[in-house]
Amino acid sequence: MTTQDMTQAAALPARRRSGRMRALLPYLLSLPALVVTIGILIPFGTAVYYSLQRYNLAFPFTRGFIGLDNYAQFVTDPAFWNTVQISLLYTVVTVGVELALGLSMALLLQHRTPVNNLLSVLLILPLMTAPAIAALMWKLMTNPNFGVFSYLVGLAGFTEFRWASSPSTALFTVVLVDVWVYTPFMMILLLAGLRSLPRQPFEAAELDGVPASFVFFRITLPMLTPYIITASLFRMLDAIQQFDIIYAMTQGGPGDRLMVFQVQAYLEAFTFTNIGRSAAFLMVLWAITFILSNLFIKQWLKLRERTHRAA
C-alpha cells in the first residue's frame, strides 16, 4: 500500500461531507502549531537585521548598517574557520559514537524482559541530568586531585591524563560527556522503533534459518532507518549547537581548541557586547544547520515512502 493509497483510504468517508471541509482539515490541524510558534520569526528577523549592522553595545555611536561586512570578515578570519571545523568535527564524532552505541544498546535491550525494561529506564537517567549541571559534576569527577575518574585512570597507569585541561584530550573529554548525556536519547528512540517493527519478516527469516547478520543488515537496519534518521537529526541539531557542556567544562579552551559556534557567539554577545558579530556568527550556524537538516529530511521522506511500499 503506498502512502497515496492510505491517504485516500483515510479520506474516503470524508467524501460524504463537503469537499471544502475535507480540503481544509489538514490545515485546521496543523496551523495552530504554526501560529503559536510563528511569533518566533519576528525575533529571528530582528537578529538577521542585527547581523547586517556594526553593532557593539559599548560603542553606541558607531552603530550602523554595513551590509554583509560582518560576514565578509569571516572569510579571512582563521578563528572563524577554526570554529567551523571544530563544530563539524564535534558533531560528526558525537552523533557517530552515539548512534553506534545507542543502536547497540537498543539491540541488546530489544527483547521485552523485565530486566531489559528496567534497564532501559535506568539508562536514560543521564539524559535527565541537565547538561549544565552534569558538566559541573564531570568537571569535578575529572579533577586531578579530587576526581574519581582521574583516580581510576591514575590507577591504570595514566597519571598524567589531563582530561579537558590538555589540548590533546579536551575534545575527547567533552565528547565523552556528550555521549554520556545523549546516547540514551538515541537508545530510547531506536528501541521504540525496533520494538514497533512488524514481526512477520523476522519470523519468516527465522523459519528459513537466515543468518543473524543477514537479518540485521537486510531487514532490521533498512526498516529502522527512518528512526535512525529522526534520532540522528535531533542529535545533530543539538550537537552542532552544543553550548552547555563545553562552556561549563572549558569555556572553549584550552587555547581555541573547543571554540564551537555557540560558545564563540555567546562570548561575542554577552561578554564582548558585539551583537552584530554574534548574530552573524549564529546566522552562519543557522545556515549550516538548515542545509544539513534539509538533506536529512529529504532522505527521511524518501525512505518513509520506500518502507511503506515494502510493508
Partner 1 sequence: MQHTSWHWRLFKGICLALISLFFLFPILWVLLMSFQTNEDILRVPPSPFFTPTLDNYRALIAGELTGAGSTLKIAYMKNIWNSFVLSACSVLLSLLLGVPAAYAFARYRFRLGENIAFTLLSFRFAPPLLVLLPLLLYFQDLGLYDTYFGLIWVYQLITLPLILWIVRGYFEDVSPDIEHAYRIDGHSWLRSFLKIAVPLARPGIAAAALLAFIFAWNNFVFALILGSSDVQPVTVGALAFITASGIQYGQIAAGLVLSVIPTFVLALVMQRYLVEGLSLGAVKG
Partner 2 sequence: MYEKAKDLAAAYVSRRISRRAFIDRMTKLGIAAAAANLMVNRLSSQALAAGHDWQKHKGRTVKLLLNKHPYTDAMIANLDNFKAMTGMDVKYDVFPEDVYFDKVTATLSSRASQYDAFMTGAYQTWQYGPAGWLVDMNEYLTQAAPNYNWNDVLPNLRRSTAWSGVPGAALGGDGAKQWALPWGFELNSVSYNKRIFDKLGMAPPENLPDMKEKAAHIAREADGMYGIGVRGSRSWATIHPGYLSGFTNYGARDFEMADGKLNAAMNSPAGKEFTGLWVEMIKQSGPRNWSTYTWYEVGNDLGAGASGMIFDADILGYFMNGNTKEAGNIAYAAFAAKPGASEPTPNVWIWSLAMNAFSEQKEAAWYWMQWATGTEHGMFGARQMDFVNPVRQSVWDDEGFRDRIAKTYPGYLEQYEASAPGSKIYFTPQPLFFNLTTEWAASLQKMVADEVPVDEGLDQLAESVNRQLASVGLR
Chain residues that interact with partner 2, rule: CB under 8 A: 56-60, 62, 139, 142-146, 160, 162-167, 249-256, 267, 270-275
The distance of closest approach from Cβ of residue 167 to partner 2 in the complex, given in angstroms and rounded to an integer, is 5
Cα separation of 300 and 287, whole Å? 20
DSSP state of 165: G
Which of 37, 76, 168, 271 touches partner 1 by CB under 8 A?
Answer: 37
State yes or no: residue 75 binds partner 1 (CB under 8 A).
no
State yes or no: residue 140 binds partner 1 (CB under 8 A).
yes
Contact partner, 293, from partner 2, partner 1, none, Cβ < 5-8 Å per class: partner 1
Q: By the 8 A CB rule, do 240 and 209 touch?
A: no
Cis before 201? omega within 30 = no
Cα separation of 274 and 264, whole Å? 11
Cα separation of 135 and 123, whole Å? 18
- Contact positions with partner 1 (CB under 8 A) in 269-288: 269, 275, 278-279, 282-283, 285-286
The distance of closest approach from Cβ of residue 75 to partner 1 in the complex, given in angstroms and rounded to an integer, is 21
Q: Which stretch binds partner 1 (CB under 8 A): 60-68, 85-93, 101-109, 249-257?
A: 101-109
Cell of 137: 559534576
Neighbouring-strand partners of residue 53: 65
Mutual orientation of helices 148-155 and 131-141 as an angle, nearest 10°? 40
Region at 202 (left for phi over 0; alpha for psi -120 to 50; beta for the rest) = alpha
Type of residue numbered 136: L
Which of 226, 232, 252, 274 touches partner 1 by CB under 8 A?
Answer: 226
Which of 18, 116, 159, 251 touches partner 1 by CB under 8 A?
Answer: 116
| Of 80, 57, 47, 184, nearest in space to 124 by CA | 184
Q: Which residue's CB is nearer to partner 2, number 129 or number 166?
A: 166
The distance of closest approach from Cβ of residue 255 to partner 1 in the complex, given in angstroms and rounded to an integer, is 23
Q: Give me the sign of the Cα torsion angle 34, 232, 51, 75.
A: negative
Which of 68, 89, 100, 148 touches partner 1 by CB under 8 A?
Answer: 148
Contact partner, 95, from partner 1, partner 2, none, Cβ < 5-8 Å per class: none
State yes or no: residue 7 binds partner 1 (CB under 8 A).
yes
* Start-to-end C-alpha separation, the chain: 7
State yes or no: residue 212 binds partner 1 (CB under 8 A).
yes
The distance of closest approach from Cβ of residue 182 to partner 2 in the complex, given in angstroms and rounded to an integer, is 21
The distance of closest approach from Cβ of residue 48 to partner 1 in the complex, given in angstroms and rounded to an integer, is 9
Cα separation of 222 and 63, whole Å? 54
Contact partner, 166, from partner 2, partner 1, none, Cβ < 5-8 Å per class: partner 2
Backbone angles phi, psi at 208, to 5 degrees: -80, -5
The distance of closest approach from Cβ of residue 173 to partner 2 in the complex, given in angstroms and rounded to an integer, is 10
Q: Which residue's CB is nearer to partner 1, number 184 or number 257?
A: 184
